Amino acid sequence: MSEVIVRFPPSPTGYLHIGGARTAIFNWLFARKHKGKFILRIEDTDAERSTKESIQGIIDGLTWLGIDWDEGPYFQSEFAQEHKEVAHKLLQEGKAYRCFCTREELESKRKQALKEKRDIKYDGTCRNLSPEEIASKEAQGLPYVVRFKVPERQGKIGYDDKVLGRIEKDYSEIEDFVIMRSNGKPLYLLCNVVDDIRDRITHIIRGQDHMSNTIRQILLYEALGATPPVFAHMPLTLDLQKRKISKRTHGEVVSVQWYREMGFIPWALVNFLVLLGWNPGTDQEIFSRDELIQAFSLERINKSNSIFNYRKGDPKFFTDPKAININAHYLRTMPIEEIAQMIKEDFIKEGLWNEAYEGDKKQWFLSTLDLIRSRFHTLKDFARQGRAYFADDFEIEPKALKKNVLKRPELKELLPELSLSLEKVEPWNLETTEDAVRKFAEERALKAGIIINGMRAILTGQLKGPGIFDVMVAIGKERVIKRLKNTPELFESAEKKDS
């Protein structure tokens, strides 16, 4: 195979959608696999709907995901002159023609055809106008569009879609389609082909929603004397009700930026999106960058639509549970130094950052992150559920407070008492803290579990978490003692609230 060149050509009219990101990822994987080129081309011909923010959002989103491009970004609008020239060239070569039919005429013909149950495609009224007729209409200043002259051929035109197999259409079913509007602006369908030819694109990997264009585009390639690229049309992503996922219906959950804000690890999102539309043929779900590049092939892109399993309104399932699980997997297994880098910004924002975490407290910081991550799902959980490890101003989860503290009134006195025995513990480590707590429970014929659960709530604010002695060591002697001493106040303020 000659060099593979693929492209991602988003229209910058909104945020980077996860469906768009998936298209970019598939193209990127294919380019990387074949040591080819991945081009970013911004299709900003629609000047009214394209925005600078959207372009920036696309670039930031791809960069965050780690999807790097080899050329571009190119901007389609910069080639407007070339698009026009190509339309005129097709006119001059007799491969396209001026159509003077008015909107009203076309509409009434369409209605008539519908009524008579005939084909509604354009009837070719202007296809064979004589040069004199054309000249006279032009002289009258009548507006016209330019239509492509579909070759008069018998049989079918088709292509071998890498995902869907052979796709064909009868020539007789293809109407002479418009390639330039009456305002002189070429249509997207044509610009896209002109750009792909200039960029020497070898493979077009895009959503099935573009399939309605493909046959017509193949005709344009032929008319322009170029070989059409290989096409691979990917399945769409639908929700549980089989609707296309969109911001309007589903909200932020469809935008890449949102995953960033929710504390996703970029590669985890890539991994999830790839599985949403492609399968390795095995049960493997977690792929490193190299593994994915190695395993990826167009042939294994799914033919049928993917289901984005999202239940709006359920905070536990703030996105597809599979995405959450994949993210949790990376969060719990990645080198802890990388996690530390990724949460730094959030820690600064939440007032939890300490310069020493990169200095003499680095070891403590990393081992604490490592200790608490095993139950976490997103990077945000470190500052949220893990706050008690890094600051004193944290809240105790109401459920933990009620169940493990307030329902055990004996703790009001026991825990401050325990804190007195703990003051004598030296050195402060896993064994010594465990000994002290167990001995304390034994002496009073108490179940250690009651003390431990109460301590967990008071020390970490959480119902569940790492082993209590690990917690005690991570939080440190001074803080543990202070928090346990404070137990009576928790009871008192709960009583106040109740009265």
186 makes contact with ligand GLU (CB under 6 A): no
Comparing every residue's Cβ against ligand GLU, the nearest one is: 206
3-state secondary structure at position 92: helix
367 Rama class: left (phi>0) / alpha (psi -120 to 50) / beta: alpha
Nearer to ligand GLU, 11 or 172 (CB): 11
Alpha-carbon distance of 495 to 499, in angstroms, equals 6
Alpha-carbon distance of 279 to 295, in angstroms, equals 9
Q: What is the closest distance, in whole angstroms, from the C-beta atom of residue 231 to ligand GLU in the complex?
A: 10
Q: What is the closest distance, in whole angstroms, from the C-beta atom of residue 474 to ligand GLU in the complex?
A: 48
17 makes contact with ligand GLU (CB under 6 A): no
- DSSP per residue, 185-250: PBPHHHHHHHHHHHTT--EEEEEGGGHHHHHHHHHHHHHTT----EEEEEPPEE-TTSPBP-HHHH
Nearer to ligand GLU, 301 or 451 (CB): 301
3-state secondary structure at position 142: coil
Q: Which residues pair with 160 in a beta bridge?
A: 166
> Which of these ranges, 5-13, 117-125, 131-139, 265-273, lies near ligand GLU under the rule CB under 6 A?
5-13
> Which residues lie closer than 8 Å to 367 by C-beta, 6 or more apart?
474
DSSP code of residue 378: S
What is the separation, in whole angstroms, between the first and last Cα of the chain?
A: 79
386 makes contact with ligand GLU (CB under 6 A): no
Nearer to ligand GLU, 13 or 112 (CB): 13
3-state helix vs strand vs coil in the chain, percent to 5 = 55, 10, 35
Nearer to ligand GLU, 212 or 363 (CB): 212
3-state secondary structure at position 283: coil
Catalytic residue (one of 109, 156, 247, 402):
247
Nearer to ligand GLU, 229 or 461 (CB): 229
3-state secondary structure at position 71: strand
Contact 235, 242 (CB under 8 A): no
Alpha-carbon distance of 416 to 476, in angstroms, equals 16
Choose which of 5, 6, 10, 270 interacts with ligand GLU (CB under 6 A): 10
Nearer to ligand GLU, 195 or 381 (CB): 195
How many of the chain's residues bind ligand GLU (CB under 6 A)? 7
**Known catalytic residue at 247:** yes
> Which of these ranges, 7-15, 261-269, 287-295, 319-327, lies near ligand GLU under the rule CB under 6 A?
7-15
Choose which of 9, 186, 229, 465 interacts with ligand GLU (CB under 6 A): 9
Q: What is the closest distance, in whole angstroms, from the C-beta atom of residue 331 to ligand GLU in the complex?
A: 32
Choose which of 37, 147, 206, 216 interacts with ligand GLU (CB under 6 A): 206
Q: What is the closest distance, in whole angstroms, from the C-beta atom of residue 433 to ligand GLU in the complex?
A: 59
Q: In which residue are the tokens 């491009």 written?
A: 69
Q: What is the closest distance, in whole angstroms, from the C-beta atom of residue 226 to ligand GLU in the complex?
A: 15
Alpha-carbon distance of 285 to 326, in angstroms, equals 8
11 makes contact with ligand GLU (CB under 6 A): yes
Choose which of 50, 192, 460, 462 interacts with ligand GLU (CB under 6 A): 192
Q: In which residue are the tokens 């289901």 written?
A: 307
> Which of these ranges, 3-11, 92-100, 152-160, 285-293, lies near ligand GLU under the rule CB under 6 A?
3-11
Nearer to ligand GLU, 9 or 386 (CB): 9
43 makes contact with ligand GLU (CB under 6 A): yes
Alpha-carbon distance of 214 to 204, in angstroms, equals 10
Alpha-carbon distance of 23 to 7, in angstroms, equals 10
Choose which of 110, 137, 181, 210 interacts with ligand GLU (CB under 6 A): 210
Nearer to ligand GLU, 41 or 95 (CB): 41
* Residues taking part in catalysis: 247
Interface residues with ligand GLU (CB under 6 A)? 9-11, 43, 192, 206, 210
